[in-house]
Each structure stands twice: as C-alpha cells, then as structure tokens.
Amino acid sequence: MIAFENVGYSYGGAELFSGVSLTLAPGSFHFLTGPSGAGKTTFLKLCYGELVPTTGRLTLFDGEVRSMSRDDVAMVRRRIGVVHQDCQFLDHLPVAANVALPLTVCGREADVANLQDLLTWVGLRPHTDALPPSLSGGERQRAAVARAVIMSPEVILADEPTGNLDAEMSMRLLTLFIELNRMGKTIVLATHDMNLIRATKGQVPARVLRLQNRKLQLAGADL
Amino acid sequence: MSRPVLPFTDPSADRVVPPTGHTAWLTGFTAAAMTFLAVFALALSLASGRLADRWQEALSNTATIRISAPPDQIEAQTRAVLTLLSTTPGVGDARALSDVEQRGLLEPWFGPDLPVDSLALPQLVEFASADQGYDAQGLRLRLQAEAPGAVLDDHTRWRRPLAVAAERLRLLGWLSLALIGGAMAAMITLAANAALAANAQVIRVLRLVGATDGFIAGAFVRRFTLRALAGSLAGGALGALAIFALPSADEAGGFLTGLGFQGYGWFAPLSLPLLAAIVAFAATRAAARKKLSELM
C-alpha cells in the first residue's frame, strides 16, 4: 500500500531522516511519535505525496512517487484521508460543504443523512452551516477528521488529531479511528499523547513508530 | 447555504472558488470596455469596406472627356466626341455637361458669381462604362485622331489612392480588433493570475482532498469565462446602441458616411461576446495551468 525503501529526506541541505524502510500494510494501525522537529509531519507528507523523498524509493499504491504526475498524486489522495495539524479549510464554504469537499472534487454528491450522522459523531451538528473561521481550534480539528473519513479512504493519516481536544473528545475520535481500522482501514496517527496510545492497547494491534536521531524505530528497535 | 442563482454563474465553480469581488469587477469591466471599443472597430472596418467598394464602383463606372479647343471649335469637337462615344463598344450613356453643371463644379472654389461665359473653360463630356468595359487606350487614340483637343480621364489617378486609403482603413479596423482582443486576453490573464495567487490556500486544500489540476483550473476558467461573457454582452449592447444613436450619414455630411452596420451587419456585434468568452477561456486556462504547475 505505502512502502518506504531506504527513504531519506533532506531540507535545505540538512538531513531530516534517512534509511527509512517500512511498509504500511492494509488494515494496520500505527502511532508515530518522536520529539518536535524529528520529521513526523514530513513523514506523513511523504505518505500522501506532498513531498518527494530525496533518497530511496517510495511507493504509493503501486506507483513510484517520483514517476507520478500531479493528477496521479490527486488520485492517490482520494484513497488517503489526511488530518493536518493546521486544519485548513475553504473559509467561504460552511462546515458541511467543507466536510463533503472530497466528494465534491470527485464529482459526487454527499448523502445528506450520512453527512449529518458524521457531523453529529464529531460533535459539529450545531455548526453545520457555520463558516470555518468561526470554529474553535478543537472544532476545526474535528471537522478535519470528518473531512478525512467521509470518503471512507483506505488510509487515514492524522497529524496530532487530538492536539486541541479535551480528553472526552480525544477518546471519542480515537474510537472512530479504531472502528475504521476494524473496517480494514490503515491508520497512522502522529501524536505526543501517550494516553491516546495507552488507551488503544487491547483494542487493536497498534504499532508504535518513533522518529528520533534521524532514524525511524519500532518499539525501541531500528527499522 | 442557498445562494441566489444569478445569470451566468456556475454553481459548481461557486462551491470551491471563493467570490473575489475585485477580480470579478475587473474582468467584467475589462470585457465590457473592450467589447464596446471592438464594436466601433468592427463598425469602422465594415464601413470602410463598404466605402472602398462604393468609391471603386462609382469611379470605375464613369469617365470624363475634357475638350480644350478654341471657342469656335468646341461645339464641333464636342459633337465629334459624342458621336465617337456612341460607336465605341463598352461605352454607355454619354452627355456633355451644361454651363450650369460646369459652374456648379467650379462653385466651391470660385464662388457662385463665376462668369463662365467670359472664361475659356474646357467642355466636359461624361460617359458611363457598360458592363463589359471599354478599351481606354483605343479610345484615346481615336480621340486624338477625331477630336485633337479631347483628353480622356478614366479616373484611375483618383480611384487608386482612394481605394488604397479605404483598404488601409479596413485593415486598421481589423488590426484594432486584434489589438483589443490581445489587450483583453492580457488583462484577463493578469486578473486570473491575481485570483489564482490570492487563492493559493484554496488550491492547497483542494489538492489535499484529491482535486486534479483540471478540476481546479476548470473552476477558475468557468468563472472567468462567464464573467467575461456577461461583461462583453453588456459592453456589446452599449456599443451597438451607441452606433445606432450616431447621426445618419445624410445629417453628418460626406466624410463619415455610413459608419455603423447595415442590414445583416447588425448581427456582427453578436459574435463579439462569443469571441470575448473564447479569449477569456483560453487566457484563463493558460494562466491556470501555468500557475498550478508553479504551486506544487
């Protein structure tokens, strides 16, 4: 599905990480941890083709990322739901239209009942017609999660999805990710929140990846 | 969430491209102003074409013979010329101008009280060319033999510069149209570039959720094309009204005769909004493709 082979990434001449080899198998659940600046966001951006590795080989859904056109990357992104840390939206569209945006760009209409259910699940039902600038940080994050999952993508990548949420909403979103994983979706959550990782234990077989010292490690061992 | 459905708006483009008042106004105004000017350029071009045809036709259909002879021979040579013309193939009606007509021709230069009788003026004979035309060189030789004081003026020296001038005027009209189209394309490109640059975040979000370049470019292209079409329709209508309101040829005098459209020519301005939309489509599409390749 997503395969890193000896991948490295440098920015401005400085190497962020190197020698990363990892396969994100269908239905797997990964937490991505590491200190700030270790490259977690960059790793996720590589996973959905926003960045291209400086060394090594990265395959997204059987396509080598360097040989992909922009339209190829767009097709890949329709199979990946992304929750950004900064949660960008189209500020002129109401929350419901923003959440349904992945469907719109595919030329599909959102099922109103499903959309309302999803907004209810993430606690944004009262904000259906609100514009994004009027949302709080936590509400924006929940809207971003709803937008990432509305297409029922094969892979969900989330960068600190619970960073602005209270404990209750964090657990609620974690439950959503776990349910999606049980449905066969591949989940990668970049997080500092150890409570989130602990809460997952026993519910799904999650693996913890750690980016540190320019290397990717799995449960204390180099990958 | 419901929006008023305005004419020439595209709901799918409205959904993803934020309303940009400044570029919308700029595009619409540019298209309107340029089409307004284009209507005049088109009218000039069509009118100069008609003028060229008219001059060509009028001058090529008639010719003049000037008879300069001593007063006692004028009448005899005039008769000889008229007889000669009546037997020349390709020559239609011929007649000698009366004193009143000759005085009328000289009046603009010498005033109304010209004593024509006291002046040794040449006699003018005007004749029309028949459909098949006549042999000017042969006629000159026969005149030389039968009326030595007669000189044929077939208007060539007048006709050629007038025809060239009218043709140049027509070319100027088409060149103006091309320049107006080019200027409109440049302005719409600038407006589209500004809109694309101002919407970099929108483009980033759209790409994040899997929008192709075609989808993103299409949203901008539709919007700009429809704005240009709407502006151009307004400008074209105003231009046509202005042309319609121009004084008629008879009232305005000779030089600007017939600037405007005639008959089916009134349908010509209808093509301008369509052309403006095509120009806007091509300009915005090229700008969007270029900008999207820059915004990786």
Any CB–CB contact under 8 A between A90 and chain B? yes
Query: Measured between CA atoms, how close is B210 to chain A, in angstroms?
Result: 4
**Whether B206 and A129 lie within 8 Å, measured CB to CB:** no
Q: Are A48 and A126 in contact (CB under 8 A)?
A: no
Q: Report the DSSP beta bridge partners of residue B155.
A: none
Indicate whether A197 pLDDT > 50. yes
Q: Which candidate, B153, B154, B141, B147, places its Cα nearest to that of B68?
A: B147
Interface probe for B, chosen from A77, A90, A128, A151 (most Cβ of B below 10 Å), is A90
B195 and B275 belong to one structural domain: yes
Residues B140 and B178 in one domain: no
Q: Has residue B92 been placed in a domain? A: yes
Q: Which segment of A188-192, B169-173, B256-260 scores lowest on mean pLDDT?
A: B256-260
* Pair of tokens at residue A64: 């080598």
**8 Å CB contact between B23 and B191:** yes
Task: Please provide the DSSP assignment of chain A as one string.
Answer: -EEEEEEEEEETTEEEEEEEEEEE-TT-EEEEE--TTSSHHHHHHHHTTSS--SEEEEEETTEEGGG--HHHHHHHHTTEEEE-SS----TTS-HHHHHTHHHHHTT-PPPHHHHHHHHHHTT-GGGTT--GGGS-HHHHHHHHHHHHHTT--SEEEEESTTTTS-HHHHHHHHHHHHHHHHTT-EEEEE---HHHHHHHTTTS-EEEEEEETTEEEETTEE-
> Which tens digits make up the pLDDT trace of B231-287?
999 999 999 999 888 876 554 444 455 677 878 878 888 899 999 999 999 999 998
Task: Tell me if A105 and B210 make a contact (CB, 8 A cut-off).
Answer: yes
**Cβ atoms < 10 Å from Cβ of B211:** 26
Q: Do B16 and A104 touch (CB under 8 A)?
A: yes
Residues B139, B232, single domain; the answer is no
Alpha helices in chain B (DSSP H): 11-16, 21-61, 71-86, 99-110, 136-146, 156-198, 200-208, 213-245, 249-252, 271-294
> Residue A90: which of B1, B202, B293 has the nearest Cβ?
B202
Task: List the domain range (segments joined by +) for residue B121.
Answer: 69-148
Grouping H, G, I as helix, E, B as strand and the rest as coil, residue B131 is: coil
Average pLDDT for chain A: 90
Count of structural domains within chain B: 2
Element (DSSP H or E) covering residue B270: none
**What does the alpha-carbon distance between residue A207 and residue A216 come to, in Å, rounded to a whole number?**
13
Query: What CATH fold (topology level) applies to the domain A2-79+153-222?
Result: Rossmann fold (3.40.50)
Q: Does residue B78 sit in the same domain as residue B131?
A: yes
Report pLDDT digits (tens) over B63-102.
Answer: 889 998 888 888 888 999 999 888 888 888 889 988 888 8
With 0-12 / 13-18 / 19 or more C-beta atoms within 10 angstroms meaning exposed / middle / buried, residue B136 is: middle
| Together in a domain, B135 and B196 | no
Residue B5 to residue B2: CA distance in whole angstroms: 9
Q: How confident is the model at residue B12 (pLDDT cuts 50, 70, 90)?
A: low
User: Mean pLDDT in chain B?
Assistant: 82
- Per the structure block, which two tokens stand in for B217? 């470019």
Question: How many Cβ pairs closer than 8 A exist between chain A and B?
Answer: 63
B1: contact with A, CB 8 A cutoff: yes
ipTM of the complex: 0.88
Say if the Cβ atoms of B208 and A84 lie within 8 Å: yes
Residue A85 CA to residue A165 CA, distance in Å, equals 12
Asked, for residue B83, whether it belongs to a domain, the answer is: yes
**B292 contacts in A (CB within 8 Å)?**
70
| Closest CB from B204, B206, B296 relative to A105 | B206
Closest to A90 (Cβ–Cβ): which among B205, B210, B212? B205
Q: Residue-wise over B216-249: b if at least 16 C-beta within 10 A, else e? A: bbbbbbbbbbbbbbbbbbbbbbebbeebeeeeee
- Chain A: closest CA distance from residue B203 (Å): 9
Return residues 93-132 of A near B (CB < 8 Å): 93-94, 96-97, 101-102, 104-106, 129
CA A184 to chain centre: 15
- When pLDDT is averaged across residues A182-187 and rounded to a whole number, the result is 93
Same domain, B42 and B80: no
Q: What is the mean pLDDT of residues A191-202?
A: 86
**% of chain A beyond a pLDDT of 90:** 61
Q: Which residue carries 């820059």 as its tokens?
A: B294
Distance CA B273, CA B235 (A): 9
What tens digit of pLDDT does each residue of B193-223 get? 888 888 888 999 999 999 999 999 998 898 8
Best residue of A47, A92, A108 to probe chain B, by most B CBs closer than 10 Å = A92
- Tell me the nearest-neighbour CA distance from A216 into chain B, angstroms: 25
Share above pLDDT 70 across residues of chain B, in percent, rounded to a whole number: 90
Partners of B11 on chain A (C-beta within 8 Å) are none
Are residues B42 and B50 in contact, defined by beta-carbon separation less than 8 angstroms? no
Give the residue-averaged pLDDT of A45-74.
94
Tell whether B40 and B177 lie within a shared domain. Answer: yes
Residues B96 and B241 in one domain: no
pLDDT of amino acid B296:
63
* B19 lies within 8 A of chain A by CB: yes
**How close B3 gets to chain A, by Cα (Å)?**
12
Residues on chain A touching B201 (C-beta within 8 angstroms)? 88
Residues of A in contact with B205 (CB under 8 A): 88-90, 101
Residues B39 and B269: beta-carbon distance below 8 Å: yes
Q: How far apart are CA B78 and CA B101, in angstroms?
A: 16
Nearest to B1 among A74, A106, A129 (CB): A129
In a domain, B136, yes or no: yes
Residues B199 and B104 in one domain: no
Residue whose C-alpha is closest to residue A101's, from A56, A72, A132, A71: A132
Q: Compute CA distances A107 → A101, A103, A174, B172, B215, whole Å.
A: 10, 6, 30, 47, 9
Each residue's pLDDT tens digit, B125-144: 988 888 778 888 888 898 88
Domain assignment present for B138: yes
A81: left (phi over 0), alpha (psi -120 to 50) or beta: beta
Q: Do B188 and B110 fall into the same domain?
A: no
CA distance B43 to A129: 52
Task: Give CA–CA dist A68/B235, Å, rounded.
Answer: 45
- Least CB-CB distance to A97: which of B1, B204, B292? B1
Q: Would you give the DSSP letter of residue B247?
A: P
Question: How far, in Å, CA of B290 to CA of B199, rounded?
Answer: 15
Identify residue A172 by its one-letter amino acid code: R
Chain A: give the shortest CA distance to residue B295, in Å.
11
Q: Quick one: which of B39, B13, B24, B14 has its CA closest to B230?
A: B24
